Structure 1
Amino acid sequence: MTDEVSTAGAYVTAGAEFTRDDRYIATRITADGRDGYPVEAGRYRLVVSRACPWASRAVIVRRLLGLEDALSMAVAGPTHDRRSWTFDLDPGGVDPVLGIPRLQDAYFARFPGYPRGITVPAIVDIATGQVVTNDYAQMTLDLETEWTALHRPGAPDLYPEAMRAEIDAVSRDVFRDVNNGVYRCGFAGSQQAYDSAYRRLFARLDWLSERLAGQRYLVGDTITEADVRLFTTLVRFDSVYHGHFKANRSKLTEMPVLWAYARDLFQTPGFGDTVDFEDIKRHYYVVHEDINPTRIVPQGPDLRGWLDPHGREELGGRPFGDGVPPGPVPEPDRVPVEHTAAAMRG
């Protein structure tokens, strides 16, 4: 990446293919504390933006596993400058727990002058004010496997040991061609780079459609980490990626299997109730000035279809396996009703 902050962001470099900077802070929070950070209820704060697909993975997993009381959550605003995500949604523009106006402050507290992206999601040690990790891919896996003592009763197993090899393989393909593929389209610096990314994106979406035509979820008969990772791109597809990133062979609503699959997940507790379409659109269309120099945020698309029946129950499957759905969203974590529900009523 060429930017200094990011959701996964980048800037167009003329003549170049988009390349993601994958050098994240690899410190882990584990049950045995081997990196110096043991799992401990109330010790850490998860910093996210609902606009960011990578952060949204952590939001969904935290909710599905019932970690709200153990791991508090700070929500940054949907826009940022080149320096840092900011807590402009909070009174006074300061996170009430960490006491900082910018996520950058937590990075600098541990790594003065930190030279890479000030990214979300990030987990911060509350007592020291220092960032622990921003390794979003490992973060959700650790929430699923290292934080088990703090999971809610009836929490699903999102990363079952017997299926990990397949989940990892599917997730790698989805990341390369879909999660990151839409960015490779949107930030392509040449026609050749765009064409290549476009072909790979829709070839993979066609492959996913074939895979999901006969099974309800990506791996096995329950929701897993792989479904979380795909969902966060699909839920942004028509609002952002189709137009803003020129991923425009088909809208999600024009891909019947994937559209039904996405609606199925959206209507599952823990998925749609974490989505903020308003923040999503505002982030992409305002922050990416090189793609959208006017910074005009579109009014559409019509969101009402997300609540239509999906019919995927006919494929069987048990969304939460032997577990049960999470309860209502805690008040502090609720998406503003005017950002999603009102829009879906037309």
Structure 2
Amino acid sequence: MGNESYGKKRFKRSRSHFADRITADGRDGWPVEAGRYRLVVSLACPWAGRVLVARRLLGLESALSLGITDPIQDDRSWRFTLDPDGRDPVLGIRYLSEAYEAREKDAPGGVSVPAIVDVPSGRLVTNDFQQITLDLATEWTELHRPGAPDLYPRALRAEIDEVMEDVFQDLNNGVYRAGFATGQEEYESACRDVFRRLDALTRRLAGRRYLVGDTLTEADIRLFTTLVRFDAVYHGHFKCNRYKLSENPVLWAYARDLFQTPGFGDTVDFDHIKRHYYRVHRGINPTGVVPLGPDTDGWTTPHGRERLGGRPFGEGTPPGAP
């Protein structure tokens, strides 16, 4: 998914090799332009899931087209076998690696999603999963829908950044450090970090609806894409099993609140999520058997978080139907 390597010693997530930015002034050579770029994602990937949520909330669907890969990779990584003739209908390629190779032959870091590709040239622009959503929120504003929320408000950025960094280190990335640990001590350290952060988030969210301020922000998006995968894959597959998300009343209600908010749950595909993790990670799950559970019906049950107030979209409005 996002720049992962599984060494003999410990799991490591590398920085994105292609960190060009698509900006309003085009300072990296890539100006914001409706229809010029294609976003490529796997519905299984939490890092790609962030971009899907941001794209929906900001109303960028018509400006930034979407290609979806098969959740199962082969030796050339992400492939477009879900599309007719096994080719992305816009880029005309069978593998995302072709866009990487068009940009730089034998580039380090592997082929990861999310990725944004320049349609006219067929070249990869960026796979910087940490920056893409921030730029969609701040550089693509002229193409936002009317009523789009401010997901990265300037006055709250320092607090948002601090919260996101803690969540990334201990939770977003922590579940992978636990899941791909090759030693008991390494696993226990990572797993403790995961639940230490979940416990801290429980305290933070017990009396407030959202992580920062009283509206949805980038911080909520980044937490959601890990929480929504927790019981389905991280609890069992990655051995993060001190408790299930559904056993934590505060975080389970918070996650359901987001899931039921337009732009969040409608980007989630539990089938893709489970098939990718359980069938691709053969070092952890050698049989490739995909579990039937957990039951996902609970995601649509009442959450009661409205009592905490908050304005999901601030002065804006919800996005329309997908």
After TM superposition, the score normalised by the length of structure 1 is: 0.92
Structure 1 residue 189: Cα displacement:
1.1
Structure 1 runs of 4+ with >4 Å offset: 7-10
Contact 2:3 2:16 in 1 (8 A): no
Partner-residue secondary structure (3-state), 1:325? coil
Match of 1:150 in 2: 143
Match of 1:52 in 2: 45
Match of 2:268 in 1: 275
Give, in whole Å, the separation in 2 of the partners of 1:283 and 1:9.
15
Residues 133-190 of structure 1: CA deviation (Å, up to 9, x unaligned): 0001100000000000000000000000000000000000000000000001100111
In the alignment, does 2:37 pair up with 1:37?
no
What is the RMSD of the two structures over their aligned residues, measured on CA atoms? Answer: 0.9
Taking the TM superposition and a 5 Å limit, the aligned residue runs for 1:172-211 are 172-211=165-204
Q: How many corresponding residue pairs?
A: 322
Q: Which amino acid aligns with 2:200?
A: W
> Which residue of 93, 110, 116 corresponds with 1:100?
93
Match of 1:229 in 2: 222
> Which residue of 252, 259, 265 corresponds with 2:258?
265
Partner-residue secondary structure (3-state), 1:192? helix
Taking the TM superposition and a 5 Å limit, the aligned residue runs for 1:1-346 are 6-7=1-2, 9-11=4-6, 13-14=7-8, 16-329=9-322
Structure 1 segments unaligned to the other structure (5+ residues): 1-5, 330-346
Give, in whole Å, the separation in 2 of the partners of 1:118 and 1:184.
20
Give, in whole Å, the separation in 2 of the partners of 1:116 and 1:243.
28
Partner-residue secondary structure (3-state), 1:45? strand
Partner-residue secondary structure (3-state), 2:228? helix
Structure 1 residue 21: Cα displacement:
1.4
Partner-residue secondary structure (3-state), 2:38? strand
Contact 1:49 1:55 in 2 (8 A): yes
Structure 2 segments unaligned to the other structure (5+ residues): none
Structure 1 residue 7: Cα displacement:
4.4
Give, in whole Å, the separation in 2 of the partners of 1:24 and 1:167.
25
Q: Which amino acid aligns with 1:180?
A: N
Structure 1 residue 17: Cα displacement:
2.4
Give, in whole Å, the separation in 2 of the partners of 1:254 and 1:24.
38
Partner-residue secondary structure (3-state), 1:268? coil
Q: Which amino acid aligns with 1:188?
A: A
Contact 1:10 1:187 in 2 (8 A): no
Q: Which amino acid aligns with 1:202?
A: F
Contact 2:150 2:217 in 1 (8 A): yes
Identity in percent: 68
Contact 1:8 1:52 in 2 (8 A): no
After TM superposition, the score normalised by the length of structure 2 is: 0.98
Residues 267-324 of structure 1: CA deviation (Å, up to 9, x unaligned): 0000000000000000000000000000000000011110110000000000000000
Partner-residue secondary structure (3-state), 2:51? helix
Give, in whole Å, the separation in 1 of the partners of 2:173 and 2:187.
13
